[in-house]
Amino acid sequence: MRIYPLVFKHVFTKMDPEQAHHFAFNAIKVAQRAGLTKVVRKFFAPSPKLKRTVMGIEFPSPFGLAAGFDKGATGIVALSDIGFGHVEIGTVTGQAQPGNPQPRLFRLVEDRAVINRMGFNNEGAERVAARVANARQQLKGDYSQTRPVIGVNIGKTKVVELEDAVGDYLTSTRQLAIHADYLVVNVSSPNTPGLRLLQSVESLRPLLTEVGQLADKVSGRHIPLLVKIAPDLSDEDVADVAQLAIELELDGIIATNTTIARDGLTSDSAKVEEIGAGGLSGAPLKERSLAVLRQLRSLVPAEMALIAVGGVENAQDVKDRLDAGADLVQGYTAFLYEGPFWARSINKGLERML
């Protein structure tokens, strides 16, 4: 019998979703600080057979944790110890900000989905950078061979006007790039007013150009740079982003962020309407995310990395994304439903299938 589903049903569903998230995440971090995750690390560790090199970086597994779970880089080591091949932290903004008013996280259990309007709540680039640096050093010491990879996802501070967005992203880049294995420019969250307007090619070109140049300059090495896009882009807009990525020689694209659509949900429509605005993630996003991935793979060169995220629940979903052309795959929402053994389960399933 699996214990976590019972805990989720009888404990976490009785709690506010954001409180439940903090409670579960804190439990994992407490276990790490007590040395428990280090003791069982071999049990959770991906098989060496799953190693792959992407963007010049060796990943212990193609499966990792998407941005949004560890916004403040407080649990990178703990999350790595339970089997994620990479942990993408953030989204981090140039200035600290509290995010949107609570409640701002909502479960749709019948759909195995979540709606969030968190609003990039984080402590700001300078403070988060110190934690990323410490985690990187600890992982280097803890893993003698292939260590888990750290991605850093950056976004726009809410109070910064769109015309000043580039400078705000550069503030985060200056603080964080040197500590990142790869850097992601997030222009696709629906929860920061106007942010998605930055997905237009005219806005993206200067933003990605300046972030990429500064990241390499402050780091003294090439920092792989990716852009994360929304599933709500039209096929024409996806093609435009792909062409821009080729033109700028980006290292990769992450597809996709959460959606503002509410199509095909089985949850009560009145409940969904009452929840209101926010990005939907989880199982309902699976097909659109996969479609965007396939379109991108047909448009960009093989050496450009594609990271697939959206509706990933099990090892078969990960394999489907890899078969469709993804180089790496990320999950998040199913972690809330499956619990701390989720990454291990996916890695074991992948090992059998691959």
pLDDT digits (tens, 9 = 90+) for 42-86: 999 999 999 999 999 999 999 999 999 999 999 999 999 999 999
DSSP 92-134: EESS-B--SPSP-EEEEGGGTEEEE-----B--HHHHHHHHHH
Gap between the Cα atoms of 64 and 354, Å rounded: 17
Under the banding of pLDDT at 50, 70 and 90, the label for residue 144 is: confident
Antiparallel, parallel or unpaired: β 63-65 and 279-282: unpaired
Cis-peptide, bond into residue 173, ω within 30° of zero? no
How do residues 6-45 score in pLDDT, each as one tens digit?
889 999 999 999 999 999 999 999 999 999 999 999 999 9
Question: How many residues does this entry show for the chain?
Answer: 354
Gap between the Cα atoms of 152 and 156, Å rounded: 14
Whole-number percent of the chain with pLDDT over 90? 95
26 is in an annotated binding site: no
Gap between the Cα atoms of 215 and 208, Å rounded: 10
Under the banding of pLDDT at 50, 70 and 90, the label for residue 2 is: confident
Beta bridge partners of 153: 184
- pLDDT number for residue 1: 56
134 is in an annotated binding site: no
Which H or E element spans position 269? helix 269-275
For the chain, domains (ranges, CATH) are 3-353 (3.20.20.70)
Q: Which of 188, 189, 281, 289 is catalytic?
A: 189
Contact 229, 257 (CB under 8 A): yes
How do residues 197-217 score in pLDDT, each as one tens digit?
999 999 999 999 999 999 999
Residue 230 in this model has a pLDDT that exceeds 70? yes
Q: Tell me how far apart the terminal alpha carbons of the chain are, to the nearest angstrom.
A: 27
29 is in an annotated binding site: no
> What's this model's pTM, rounded to 2 decimal places?
0.97
Residue 307 in this model has a pLDDT that exceeds 60? yes
Whether 298 is catalytic: no
81 is in an annotated binding site: no
Amino acid at 3: I
143 is in an annotated binding site: no
Gap between the Cα atoms of 338 and 243, Å rounded: 37
